[in-house]
Amino acid sequence: MEVQELELNIFPKIDLGRIRYYGHPSGVGKKVITEAIEFLKNERDLDGDVKRSIERIREIKAVEFTIFIAPLCAHCAKTVRTLLQFAVVNPGIEVNVIDTTQFGELQERLEIVSVPVILVNRKIKITGETKLKELIELAERVDDEEFIYEFIVRMIREGRARELCYTILNIEMDRILPALLREGDFFIRLGVMYLLEIVSEKNDEIARSLCPTIVELIGDGDERVKEDAIMALGKIGGEEELKILEGLLMVENDKFREAITEAIEEIRERIVLVSNRVKVIKR
């Protein structure tokens, strides 16, 4: 599965090495620049909680935090301050601070409706003030599939599935999807179906790349997993998957016929919709 790439080719930019600020500094932004310089010059003491976690922070492997802020956001100032100290303590940690109010296109693309928003290695996205303990765990485990699985499950349980869209488009979802669809909790599986639908709307190519994984799950011995896989295929499948489902309809028993029929109808409706869009574009 190919992931999306976020490029930060935006200006103005203040480059302090491991710390970069994008935008004309105002409000919180001015404080960010001042504190960054003072921390880098060792003119400001580290916060107590950072000092207590300093060894753990130093052991973090190379990681990049990108945080989106707004000039009048008090929660932003606290989170940015913590991240600045991460970059001072550990040379392998880089921090990008972006004033989202000055980059409307980027704000729209990332669907930022409130700040702060943090990206970890430009793939995990989290919204809201984030405590030091969670920031450390995000940095330590950003490439850990088990952690990403747990993160997705937690976000769905908290009713924040919509916020996962960026993350889903930027991770190797085909390696995590089987475990999510085998999850016994109906609410989690429902959240996964919703995410697949959103991914299909945002990036059909990425959605389609997940289809082989889902087709494999149709052969799963667990009937519940099989039915969920059929439903999932309906959310993101195309003409090739339509043929597979039509073939299943001929051999499966009544237990799965309803799910297969609904999936077939969803794919057919989507194919017609895409075809109509193409016709409109060509006119």
Domain-terminating residue out of 94, 125, 141 = 141
pLDDT digits (tens, 9 = 90+) for 178-208: 889 887 788 999 999 999 999 898 888 888 8
Could you tell me if 95 and 204 lie in one domain? no
Q: What is the domain-level CATH number for residue 111?
A: 3.40.30.80
This prediction has a pTM of 0.89
4 part of a folded domain: no
Question: Among the three residues 86, 112, 141, which one is the final residue of a domain in this structure?
Answer: 141
Residues 65 and 164 in one domain: no
Q: For residue 275, is pLDDT > 80?
A: no
**% of the chain exceeding 70 in pLDDT:** 96
Final residue before a domain boundary, out of 114, 141, 168: 141
Query: What's the domain count of the chain?
Result: 2
What is the per-residue DSSP string for 98-145? EEGGG-HHHHHHTT--SS-EEEETTTEEEES---HHHHHHHHHHTT-H
pLDDT of residue 240: 95
Per-residue pLDDT tens digits for 210-264: 999 999 999 888 899 999 999 999 999 999 999 999 999 888 778 899 999 999 9
- 67, 135: one domain: yes
- 117 and 163: one domain? no
pLDDT digits (tens, 9 = 90+) for 91-133: 999 999 999 999 999 999 999 999 999 999 999 999 999 999 9
pLDDT band for 43, please (50, 70, 90 cuts): confident
- 26 and 109 share one domain: yes
d(CA 69, CA 61): 25
The mean pLDDT of 13-24, rounded to a whole number, is 97
Band (pLDDT 50/70/90 cuts) for residue 279 is low
Say if residue 39 is in the same domain as residue 129.
yes
Tell me the pLDDT band of 30, cut-offs 50, 70 and 90.
Answer: very high
Whether 120 and 191 map to the same domain: the answer is no
User: Which of 2-11, 19-28, 39-48, 122-131 has the least mean pLDDT?
Assistant: 2-11
Q: According to the model, what pLDDT value does residue 182 have?
A: 85
Q: Which domain holds residue 261?
A: 146-282
Question: Average pLDDT for residues 68-79, to the nearest whole number?
Answer: 95
Let me know: does 204 contact 211? Beta carbons within 8 Å.
Answer: no
pLDDT for 154: 95
CA distances to 13, 52, 75, 88, 91 from 17, rounded to whole Å, are 11, 25, 24, 11, 10
